[in-house]
């Protein structure tokens, strides 16, 4: 353990997933004692490269409270969620259950655990999303922009942010940071972790797998956006930088600072055509795009 973490114990929900696993690794390398709580429905146990893994579901409040009471973490990082925007439109109840209800289960389990603070654990880092902004009318988007989610995924994350804000308002012992991600990309610079899905929907991953011949072609959806090349522009943030943002948020709360919300992006975007062109340049393969 290094002095920065002061031997802090951190519970990470959803730590076997893409972003969570990178954060778990960063926590371990920074000297934190980490316990991952994940049902492995979409995560991979082999992605847990630091600390202990407990296989469990956030719907199991008894197990969750037991683990929290026994491990006695100093803070919780909450990643566990369903994240496909399109699926959230066709199956909204799944998203409200997995993202909103399970977040409430976690907060209730923290209270039952009773290990200090209002909720047992007085600090939380929440994995939120820029989808809570919907289609903002003013750019760049600041943290003060209004909630205007346009799909159940964004709405479910908005609900959790409201849970956290209300709890922090009701009890000064509870403090949180909500990190609103834009589009996360990349992999561990030492190639220990990455985005490993058989049928990825992420543009960069899918483009590279098309270049490798795993997919016969890359389909581009939408060429009439009000952008210079007609395709959607996204602000991408490297997963390693995002992992560092979580450690920074944890250290921020450890100073006694008040609850806060931070956007996580670089402030500039790349179009779909930009990404495709770069994938072709990097790989040297002129793969088929439709």
Q: Encoding tokens for residue 126?
A: 């929440």
Residues making up the chain, counted from first to last: 290
Domains of the chain: total: 1
User: Can you tell me the distance from the alpha carbon of 136 to that of 172, in angstroms, rounded to the nearest whole number?
Assistant: 32
8 Å CB contact between 53 and 16: yes
Q: Model confidence over 40-74: pLDDT tens digits?
A: 999 999 999 999 999 999 999 999 999 999 999 99
Residue 41 lies in a domain: yes
Q: pTM for this one?
A: 0.92
153 labelled catalytic = yes
DSSP secondary structure string, 42-72? S--GGG--SSEEEE--TT-HHHHHHHHHHH-
Q: Is 168 helix (H, G, I), strand (E, B) or coil?
A: helix
User: Can you tell me the distance from the alpha carbon of 219 to that of 37, in angstroms, rounded to the nearest whole number?
Assistant: 36
Residue 201 lies in a domain: no
Judge whether residue 266 has pLDDT over 50.
yes
User: Can you tell me the distance from the alpha carbon of 42 to that of 227, in angstroms, rounded to the nearest whole number?
Assistant: 34
Residue 274 lies in a domain: no
Residue 212 lies in a domain: no
pLDDT (average), residues 143-148? 97
Give the distance, in angstroms, between the CA of residue 273 and the centroid of all CA atoms in the same chain. 25
User: Can you tell me the distance from the alpha carbon of 27 to that of 243, in angstroms, rounded to the nearest whole number?
Assistant: 9
Res 137: pLDDT: 87
pLDDT (average), residues 1-18? 78
Res 114: pLDDT: 61
For the chain, the average pLDDT equals: 93
Residue 288 lies in a domain: no
Q: Encoding tokens for residue 63?
A: 């197990």
User: Can you tell me the distance from the alpha carbon of 39 to that of 58, in angstroms, rounded to the nearest whole number?
Assistant: 8
Residue 202 lies in a domain: no
Listing from the earlier edge strand, what are the strands of the sheet with 52-55? 52-55, 33-38, 9-13, 75-78, 123-129, 175-181, 260-264
Res 172: pLDDT: 84
Judge whether residue 2 has pLDDT over 50.
no
Q: What is the CATH number of the domain that holds 153?
A: 3.40.50.720
8 Å CB contact between 128 and 179: yes
Residue 169 lies in a domain: yes
Residue 61 lies in a domain: yes
Q: What is the DSSP code (8-state) at residue 225?
A: S
Q: Model confidence over 103-129: pLDDT tens digits?
A: 999 999 988 776 444 445 689 999 999
Question: Which residue matches tokens 């450890």?
Answer: 254
User: Can you tell me the distance from the alpha carbon of 76 to that of 167, in angstroms, rounded to the nearest whole number?
Assistant: 15
Q: Which residue of the set 37, 95, 96, 153 is catalytic?
A: 153
Residue 166: give the domain boundaries: 9-186+236-267
Judge whether residue 166 has pLDDT over 60.
yes
């Amino acid at each position: 353990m290094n002095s920065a973490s002061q031997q802090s114990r951190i519970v990470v929900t959803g730590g076997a997933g893409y972003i969570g696993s990178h954060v778990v690794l960063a926590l371990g390398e920074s000297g934190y004692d980490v316990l991952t709580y994940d049902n492995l429905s979409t995560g991979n146990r082999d992605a847990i490269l630091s600390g202990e893994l407990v296989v469990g579901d956030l719907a199991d409040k008894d197990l969750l409270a037991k683990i929290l009471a026994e491990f006695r973490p100093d803070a919780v990082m909450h990643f566990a969620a369903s994240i496909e925007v399109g699926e959230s439109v066709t199956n909204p109840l799944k998203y409200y259950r997995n993202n909103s209800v399970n977040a409430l289960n976690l907060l209730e389990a923290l209270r039952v655990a009773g290990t200090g603070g209002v909720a047992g654990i007085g600090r939380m880092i929440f994995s939120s999303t820029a989808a809570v902004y919907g289609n903002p009318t003013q750019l760049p988007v600041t943290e003060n922009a209004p909630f205007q989610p346009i799909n159940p995924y964004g709405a479910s994350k908005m609900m959790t942010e409201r849970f956290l804000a209300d709890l922090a308002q009701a009890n000064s012992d509870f403090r949180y940071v909500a990190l609103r991600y834009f589009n996360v990309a990349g992999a561990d610079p030492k190639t220990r972790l990455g985005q490993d899905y058989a049928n990825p929907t992420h543009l960069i991953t899918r483009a590279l797998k098309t270049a490798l011949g795993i997919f016969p072609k890359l389909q581009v959806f939408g060429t009439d956006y009000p952008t210079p090349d007609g395709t959607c522009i996204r602000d991408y943030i490297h997963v390693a930088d995002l992992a560092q943002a979580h450690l920074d948020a944890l250290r921020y709360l450890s100073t006694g600072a008040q609850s806060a919300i931070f956007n996580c992006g670089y402030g500039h975007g790349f179009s779909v055509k930009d990404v495709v062109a770069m994938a072709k340049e990097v790989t040297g393969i002129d793969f088929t795009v439709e």
